[in-house]
Amino acid sequence: MPAYKVIAVLAVFTGLRVLSGEPMPDSLDLTPHHITVSVADLDRAVKWYQEKLGLTVVLRKTQENPSLSIAWMKMGGFRIDLIQYKGSFKPKVPSDHLLMQGWGHIVFSTADVDHEYQLLKARGANPSGPKTSKEFHNRTFYVQDSDGNYIEIYQEDPAKFK
């Protein structure tokens, strides 16, 4: 077999392997489990996540060395951990939060973005108006938690937009 054919066969084989989603041999097998946020006021944050997003507290505790209070908040199969860390501070957030490097926002998908928007508004949260992106085929809005952290709510299928 000529060399170019061997190379072509190998290339197709490698491509199929990647496309099939077969884990590469050195894959770490990571499963997203929760996300942790450092907050200024744990009581206020727990209340916000309970009232606005409907999360429930599954664990709450306070410890020394390092001095912190923690609340595990559950939502379906996912968890958000809130931590009030002694001496923590909030950096000055620029007008566009992505101008500050770091984890900028976390994103949840939903089947009906407008419904969730109305629900949050009715609960006194401050969501920005949903926007449709033709480029990315999604409809999305931001809401800020009681500490000003950005959460994005996101719907992917444009056929279902109202």
Binding residues vs other proteins (CB under 8 A):
18, 21, 23-24, 26-40, 50-56, 59, 61, 63, 66, 68, 75-76, 78, 81, 83, 85, 87-91, 96-112, 116, 119-120, 123, 147, 149, 152-154
- Of 28 and 159, nearer to other proteins (C-beta) is 28
Q: Shortest distance, CB of residue 123 to other proteins, whole angstroms? A: 5
- Of 52 and 139, nearer to other proteins (C-beta) is 52
Q: Shortest distance, CB of residue 134 to other proteins, whole angstroms? A: 13
Q: Shortest distance, CB of residue 16 to other proteins, whole angstroms? A: 14
Q: Kindly report the length of the chain.
A: 162
DSSP per residue over 63-77, as a string? ETTTTEEEEEEEETT
DSSP per residue over 124-145, as a string? T--PPPPEEETTTTEEEEEEE-
Q: In what order do the strands lie in the sheet with 150-155?
A: 131-133, 138-144, 150-155
- Of 50 and 132, nearer to other proteins (C-beta) is 50
Q: How far apart are CA 48 and CA 43, in angstroms?
A: 9
